[in-house]
Amino acid sequence: MRNHIIILLICIFMLFFLSQVKASGGREIFLSKCGACHQKDGDAQAFAPTKYASTQWKRFFDRNKHSRRKDISSFFNDEELDAVEKYLIKHAADSEQPEAVGLK
Collapsed DSSP state (helix, strand, coil) of residue 34: helix
Phi-psi sector, 89: left (phi>0), alpha (psi -120 to 50), beta? alpha
Site for ligand HEC in 3-32 (CB under 6 A): none
Pick 2 or 68: Cβ nearer ligand HEC: 68
The span from the CA of 84 to the CA of 81, in Å, is 5
Piece of 2-10, 16-24, 70-78, 93-101 that binds ligand HEC (CB under 6 A): 70-78
- If one asks whether residue 48 binds ligand HEC (CB under 6 A), the answer comes out as no
74 in helix, strand or coil?
Answer: coil
Please give the Cα distance from 46 to 35 (Å, whole number).
7
Residue 53 as a binder of ligand HEC (CB under 6 A): the answer is: no
DSSP, collapsed to helix, strand or coil, labels residue 51 as: helix
Residue 43 interacts with ligand HEC (CB under 6 A): yes or no: yes
> Out of 66, 95, 98, 99, which residue is the one contacting ligand HEC (CB under 6 A)?
66
- Contacting residues toward ligand HEC, per CB under 6 A: 33-34, 36-38, 43-45, 66, 69-70, 72, 75-76, 84
